[in-house]
Structure 1
Amino acid sequence: MFKSRKTSVNRFAAASTRQRVHIEQDSVLDSEYPFRLNFYLQPPPADITIEEFELFALDRLQVLKAVETSKLRNRNEEEYKKDIQLALDKYLPMKSNAAKTDLVEERRKDHISHFVLRLAYCRSEESREWFLRQEDALFKFRFEQENMDDKKRFLETANLDWKVVDPETKKRIQPQLERCVSGKTFKDKTTAASHVVNETYFEVPFEKVPDLVRRRGVYVHKGKAYVPMSNQISLVQDEFKKRLAKMLQATAKALPRLEEDDRLKPILLNVEKQYIGKIYTGSADSNGDLKAADVDVMVENHAPLCMRTLHSALRRDKHLKHGGRMQYGLFLKAIGLSVEEALLFWRTAFTNKTDEQFQKEYAYNIRHNYGLEGKRVSYTAYSCNTIIKGNSPSTGDYHGCPFRHFSNGNLEARLYKDKIPPDQVKEIMNLVHGSHYQVACTKYFEITHPRHDKIDTIEHPNAYYELSLGLTDEAMEVEKEIK
């Protein structure tokens, strides 16, 4: 995290340090934020502090990750809506116009956070696609929750190129329009006819509403789709995605110039791979509760696949390269291995090294990780995001994430070795092919820990360890109560 700084940034790039001018809430709502819904076509209008720049982005990132996780975990509609609303209430609340309280700051935060993440996630095609998917889902959720009056007012100001079907045309094609709703929305033909008469229809190019065409939910004639007002979400989403995709491309081209401001560059580089969660550090003294002799059992029973892979390679080769020692050593430190026990563990593991070689080549780095050498900073264990996006392992390396860095064949073989059922191996591999590595690891945890309730996506190897260990502790407590 960055230190709080009061320096401000105007439209993300200017070096201006003037204070924001206070504007009355009603006038801002009328001019800048009249609706909760936003196509984000214009940059935020006010100066922004560096602190806001970062914190707002991280809060929105929490919401977008909640959106992604809920979709990937196949939540039903009710659970999905509940997940998103909980995340919004906690990190990015936005009340309706009827509330008349705190609306300006809420909408300002939403506006700014979108633009900061747009900057952070425009660097690569993969990042742009991820950001577009989550923002589209968030927009759809908000649109569906909005009241009808504010929806209509928002759309009236959105400059959407939609042609309203005139009464004469609608009467001419009414039988076709009725067939699109008869038997689906309305069982009774008379009711369907009445609905069509009272409904407003838009004429748009059919490629704008592929989902409705696929479901045969609209009448298509000569390349035009006739979309009822009740299905306008498909049209609105198409406009939102099209405009945001274009703006992401433009932002990517402008990014090198924006990053000339040296206050912004480090934030933008770190927001995308930011881990937001518990920090696992461990202790630099000898008060850790894990002994070197117990590491084998504890890692085998409770550690995630990445750490068990490193442990197996260490026991087999009696050595790990630097990347593996860092990833595994900091994990062990965070689960309670004190510096003295760590020195003992690694010394007994490197049986092909003499005491002199060990002291000269490895002991200093171990003490360094515990904050006892060099800058005397006690290093934190790597999060999943750091491991996944870090340096890929090369020949002879065993660090990294198995779901990200194993070949398909090696990963499947490992899953079968761990007695994962074939249908669930397929499910995990599908998640891997979709680049959802942490969700795949979470699914692996749930399969190998069947007594555990559904959990949020695992974002840290030490969180995996704690969940597994906690399940064992609960089972022991139950056994004690039975006895």
Structure 2
Amino acid sequence: MDTSVGRRRVHRTIEYTELDSDYQHDVSMYKKSPGNEIALSVFEELALERLQLLRIMEEASNKGHRQYSEEWKKYIKEELAKQGLRKYLRLLGGYCSQTEQDVQARKADHVSHFILRLAYCRSGDLRRWFLTREMEWFKFRFLVQTQQGIMKFLQLNNLTYIPIPIDLKDKLRQDLFDSTPGVSERDFNSVDFYKVPFAEVLSLVKYRKVFVQKGYAYIPTSDLIVSIQTQFRASLSESLCVYNQRLPNLDDDRLNSLLSNLHHVHTGKTYVVDENREGVHPANLDSYSKEHFPLCMKTLFTNFRTAHHLKHGGRLQLLLFLKGIGLSYEDTMNFWRTEFTKNSNIDDSKFQKEYAYMVRHSFGKAGGMINYSPHSCIKIIMSSIGPGEHHGCPFKHWDANIMKQKLLGEYGLGTQSVNSIIELVNGGHYQIACSKFFEYTHNQPPSNMISHPNQFFTESLNLAKEKQEAKKN
């Protein structure tokens, strides 16, 4: 992924290929940046999946699990499986096998790492967060390696760690035994020790977990990761600074929008409806649209009710959103049929031929039988909008003057509030602008920054219910 190229815009879909010889091991030092271009859709998917991975690891620590403990590892593996991130789960087996699935998993890991470098090189806080998470991911994979896997890793990365001679080991036997936790006297003879500069294992020195003599530390194989991690951290830290300097060369509005907002992207709840959950009645949709829909869905819903038609992108965005708030399959089909057939150019027969399939497909009742999730904010923001289309993100895709008129006129926001939103929009902070819209229309901010239209709806509806309960009491 060359960030030093001249200014350009990419509008092509490039097949994603790399040399398999570059992907022989589950643990990577990420020294060689990807050399091929990839499709924008693949770029986005890889970025979001790696962000999910790093957030899962952060969450494991936040839940109180001691880092690298069995509970910590178990939690991460279970969450990776739950969220469908099996490619990353494959890298935690410690086998380093060479099946096609293994190679593809390593490719995804490699490319996604460099994508997130572009996103997280932008400030000191972002760099620190990214470094911490990547160090955890690196060490986790290293710790599950077999002795053979470790040796292969060292060889592939030209890392020279030669065990100290047996006679020196015997001479230092007592010092090594006294200074190295976890090595029993019975196992001492089978453990290899390595001589490394003490500056590479300062964390061991700090807690007096290593024998140091004449500027060198003597570490067992199990602590090699400490020395290797120090080198990995230094290399990655330096690279992030270089990427930050090269960011002006990245001149693609779609990529910049994704990368600059990636840290705030929603990677949590997908809002696939639980069939046992209480649904939403179609009769409530009009009132819900006025009180609880985010601006993107208000716009789509209003245009649909007015023109009784939406183009494909708008139909899909609104349909999945309504599905996500709890509109059942039967009610969804009836709602769309009723609205479409109000259009003088569409009768029931035409609806069945041209529009009913999308409803069935979105609910996993046709095609690949996939139960599709509503679009997240970042997916909507990244949408391409053509003439006569109403989908997308208003904060991203509307003209600033139109946005200002609507916020002042239709939604009754004050001038100061509108100017605050417009300033965020001009700065490319579309999700923060949406969060401010929530705050100004509900007289309090959302519990978290808005990153999903269905999150906006849920928080708005819950807030209204809380106010109703408060009035009763």
Taking structure 2 as the reference length, the TM-score comes to: 0.55
Mapped pair 1:217 → 2:209: yes
Tell me if the contact between 1:119 and 1:252 (Cα under 8 Å) persists in the aligned partners. yes
Match of 2:264, SS state, is coil
- 2:266 aligns with 275
Higher mean C-alpha displacement, 142-151 vs 32-41: 142-151
1:222 partner letter? K
Mapped pair 1:365 → 2:357: no
Q: What are the Cα deviations for residues 275-331 of structure 1, in whole angstroms up to 9, with x where unaligned?
A: 234578x99985367799xx9xxxxxxxxxxxxxxxxxxxxxxxxxxxxxxxxxxxx
Query: 1 CA distance for matches of 2:114 and 2:194?
Result: 31
Query: 2 CA distance for matches of 1:284 and 1:124?
Result: 46
For residues 354-433 of structure 1, what are the structure 2 equivalents within 5 Å?
A: 364-365=410-411, 386-387=431-432
- 1:241 aligns with 233
Q: What are the Cα deviations for residues 216-237 of structure 1, in whole angstroms up to 9, with x where unaligned?
A: 2210123321111122222222
- 1:433 aligns with none
- 2:103 aligns with 104
Query: 2 CA distance for matches of 1:278 and 1:116?
Result: 23
For residues 463-482 of structure 1, what are the structure 2 equivalents within 5 Å?
A: none
Query: 1 CA distance for matches of 2:251 and 2:224?
Result: 42
- 2:43 aligns with 53
Query: 1 CA distance for matches of 2:124 and 2:133?
Result: 14
Tell me if the contact between 1:388 and 1:400 (Cα under 8 Å) persists in the aligned partners. no
2:225 partner letter? I
Query: 1 CA distance for matches of 2:464 and 2:143?
Result: 41
Would the alpha carbon gap of residues 223 and 463 (structure 1) be closer, same or farther in structure 2, given more than 3 Å must change?
Answer: farther
Q: How many residues align?
A: 316
- 2:60 aligns with 70
Tell me if the contact between 1:203 and 1:225 (Cα under 8 Å) persists in the aligned partners. yes
Offset at residue 242 of structure 1 (A): 1.6
Query: 2 CA distance for matches of 1:151 and 1:85?
Result: 21
- 2:334 aligns with none
Tell me if the contact between 1:177 and 1:196 (Cα under 8 Å) persists in the aligned partners. no
- 2:255 aligns with 264
1:38 partner letter? S
Offset at residue 50 of structure 1 (A): 1.3
- 2:34 aligns with 44
For residues 176-191 of structure 1, what are the structure 2 equivalents within 5 Å?
A: 176-181=175-180, 184-185=181-182
Cα RMSD, aligned residues only: 4.6
- Percent of aligned positions with the same letter in both sequences? 28
- 1:405 aligns with none
Note the residue ranges of structure 1 that are not aligned, 5 or more in a row: 1-8, 296-333, 337-358, 368-384, 403-436, 439-458, 471-483
For residues 128-139 of structure 1, what are the structure 2 equivalents within 5 Å?
A: 128-139=127-138
Note the residue ranges of structure 2 that are not aligned, 5 or more in a row: 272-279, 292-323, 327-404, 414-429, 466-473
Would the alpha carbon gap of residues 141 and 115 (structure 1) be closer, same or farther in structure 2, given more than 3 Å must change?
Answer: same
- 2:190 aligns with 198
Tell me if the contact between 1:204 and 1:224 (Cα under 8 Å) persists in the aligned partners. yes
Query: 2 CA distance for matches of 1:360 and 1:162?
Result: 66
Would the alpha carbon gap of residues 97 and 11 (structure 1) be closer, same or farther in structure 2, given more than 3 Å must change?
Answer: farther
1:256 partner letter? P
Query: 2 CA distance for matches of 1:209 and 1:277?
Result: 36
Would the alpha carbon gap of residues 389 and 137 (structure 1) be closer, same or farther in structure 2, given more than 3 Å must change?
Answer: farther
1:66 partner letter? I
For residues 147-162 of structure 1, what are the structure 2 equivalents within 5 Å?
A: 147-160=146-159, 162=161
Tell me if the contact between 2:118 and 2:243 (Cα under 8 Å) persists in the aligned partners. yes
Query: 2 CA distance for matches of 1:132 and 1:150?
Result: 24
